[in-house]
Amino acid sequence: MDSFSAPSTGSSPKLSAEDFMDQLKTQLAQAYAEEFLETVRGKCFEKCITKPGSSLSGSESSCISRCVDRYIEASGIISRALFSSSR
**What does the pLDDT read at residue 52?**
87
Residue 2 confidence (pLDDT) above 70: no
Cβ(12)–Cβ(6) below 8 Å? yes
**What does the pLDDT read at residue 8?**
52
Residues with Cβ within 8 Å of residue 87, at least 6 apart in sequence: none
pLDDT greater at residue 15 or residue 69:
69
Cβ(39)–Cβ(51) below 8 Å? no
Alpha-carbon gap, residue 38 to 83, rounded angstroms: 23
pLDDT one-digit tens code per residue, 38-87: 988 899 999 999 888 899 999 999 999 999 999 999 988 988 888 886 55
Where does 18-85 sit in CATH, by number? 1.10.287.810
pLDDT one-digit tens code per residue, 4-14: 555 555 555 68
Alpha-carbon gap, residue 56 to 48, rounded angstroms: 10
Per-domain boundaries in the chain: 18-85
